């Protein structure tokens, strides 16, 4: 059953129940009013009998039963004895009263009243059926109008699914939850469109960057086969291109991860000191700093920052700095090179972005940024006064680990 049919059925049932309740109340009120009027005339009839007066207008009858004796009017129907109370019997309104030694049954024949009740019931049933039919039509129209924003959203979702075009949007009409749903759907499409655009750009750039070393290695091999270059020289060049491809593939794998890393306890100060010694630069920071993270990724990120400092900072005044700051820790590489323009600082971290014509894949800072984000932190690129660049990972401290100064 469609949502529109469900909503229409719900509205119809609601309207039908309301009509039934109102009709039942009207019928009970009308019946009580009619019965009260007839009972009042019967009590007048009883008073007239007891006082010997003329009964009120209408056809009345009585039966007095006291012990084994029974007295009744000639027109009293052949009925069995009733217990005290009020009844409807074959068009008669019957009232049974307790009297000393027996019961007094008085009745008034009023087929018009019984017919009025029957006609009222028929009128209620007929009008109820007609109104229910109208309610079905009204509920169907109301459900269609109420679900129109949802229908538009469904139509746009089908267009996106069929065409793969994420530029479609839903007009945020209506209000309340449906408007919020349309806005959330549009926001989701915008995020997906931006994500796919980034993926397309990343794939295009990655393919371009990988094609370059492959073409270079192939050219070297063809030159060796033609005898233009010695084999020893070609082997060295091809090895260099393959190493470049290896670095590219490793960086692309890091960037392709979903941000979830396996964290283990480690000494971040020891890791920073070892990488600084490997590059022959000084280390400044605490002797030990307990941390929980992925040592391979953190070492790779720091290595990329150091390579970036040597490549673009011309290797001037490079040092590794580790310090506590606020609720986190900063693992930073500082250099005293020419630095990076402010516009380039905003773009740095984007895959394959190069701020200068210096050789490189343009992935080092992207990998460092990805590693920082995977650890819940971020990559910071700041000017180093008077000249140079401060490239660091700002990472949150792990709760429960006490750093040592």
What are the start-end ranges of the E strands in 110-193? none
Q: What is the pLDDT of residue 173?
A: 67
SS (H, E, C) 315-350: CCCCEEEEEEECCEEEEEEECCCCCCCHHHHHHCCC
Size of the chain, expressed as the number of residues it contains: 405
For the CA atoms of 44, 46, 52, 58, the dihedral, rounded to the nearest 10 degrees, stands at 60
Please say whether the beta carbons of 93 and 45 come within 8 A. Answer: no
Contact 289, 356 (CB under 8 A): no
Residue 309: CA count within 13 A, CB half-sphere = 31
What is the rounded CA–CA span in Å between residue 321 and residue 16? 77
- Residue 329 · residue 268 · CB < 8 Å: yes
Tens digits of pLDDT across the chain (405 residues):
677 778 788 888 888 888 888 888 998 999 899 889 989 989 998 888 888 777 777 788 999 988 878 888 888 888 888 889 998 888 899 999 988 888 999 999 888 888 888 888 899 888 888 888 888 888 888 878 877 777 888 888 888 888 888 888 887 766 677 788 888 888 898 988 888 887 777 677 667 667 777 888 888 888 888 888 888 888 888 888 888 778 767 766 665 655 566 788 999 999 999 999 989 999 999 999 999 888 878 888 898 899 888 887 777 889 999 999 888 899 999 998 887 777 667 766 666 666 665 555 566 788 788 888 888 899 988 888 888 889 999 999 865 555 544
- Taking the C-alpha atoms of residue 27 and residue 4, their distance in angstroms, rounded to an integer, is 34
Give the pLDDT score at 320: 95
Based on C-alpha coordinates, what's the Rg of the chain? 47
Pair 377, 371: CB distance under 8 Å: no
Contact (CB, 8 A) for 91 and 109: yes
- Looking at residue 372, the DSSP 8-state letter turns out to be H
Which tokens hold the place of 165? 């075009």
């Amino acid at each position: 059953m469609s949502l529109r049919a469900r909503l229409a059925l719900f509205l119809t049932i609601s309207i039908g129940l309301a009509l039934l309740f109102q009709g039942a109340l009207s019928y009970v009120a009308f019946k009580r009013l009619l019965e009260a009027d007839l009972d009042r005339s019967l009590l007048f009839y009883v008073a007239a009998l007891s006082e010997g007066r003329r009964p009120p207008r209408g056809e009345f009858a009585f039966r007095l039963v006291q012990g084994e004796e029974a007295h009744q009017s000639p027109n009293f129907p052949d009925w069995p004895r009733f217990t005290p109370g009020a009844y409807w019997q074959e068009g008669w309104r019957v009232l049974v009263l307790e009297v000393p030694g027996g019961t007094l049954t008085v009745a008034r024949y009023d087929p018009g009243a019984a017919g009025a009740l029957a006609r009222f019931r028929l009128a209620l049933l007929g009008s109820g059926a007609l109104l229910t039919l109208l309610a079905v039509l009204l509920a169907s129209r109301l459900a269609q109008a109420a679900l129109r924003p949802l229908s538009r959203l469904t139509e746009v979702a089908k267009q996106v699914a069929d065409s793969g075009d994420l530029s479609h949007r839903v007009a945020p009409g209506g209000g309340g939850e449906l408007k919020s749903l349309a806005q959330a759907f549009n926001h989701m499409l915008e995020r997906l469109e931006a994500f796919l655009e980034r993926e397309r750009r990343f794939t295009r750039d990655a393919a371009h960057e990988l094609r370059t070393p492959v073409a270079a290695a192939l050219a070297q091999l063809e030159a060796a086969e033609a005898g233009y270059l010695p084999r020893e020289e070609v082997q060295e060049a091809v090895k260099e291109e393959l190493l470049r491809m290896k670095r590219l593939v490793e960086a692309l794998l890091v960037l392709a991860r979903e941000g979830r890393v396996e964290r283990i306890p480690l000494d971040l100060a020891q890791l920073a000191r070892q990488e600084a010694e490997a590059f022959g630069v000084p280390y400044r920071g605490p002797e030990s700093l307990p941390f929980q993270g992925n040592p391979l990724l953190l070492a790779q990120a720091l290595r990329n920052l150091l390579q970036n400092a040597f490549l673009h900072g011309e290797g001037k005044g490079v040092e590794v700095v580790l310090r506590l700051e606020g609720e986190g820790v900063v693992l930073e590489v500082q250099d005293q090179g020419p630095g990076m323009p402010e516009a380039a600082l905003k773009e740095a971290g984007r895959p394959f972005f190069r701020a200068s014509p210096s050789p490189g894949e343009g992935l080092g800072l992207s990998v460092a940024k990805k590693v920082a984000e995977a650890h819940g932190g971020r990559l910071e690129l700041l000017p180093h006064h008077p000249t140079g660049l401060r490239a660091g990972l700002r990472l949150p401290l792990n709760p429960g680990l006490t750093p040592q100064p």
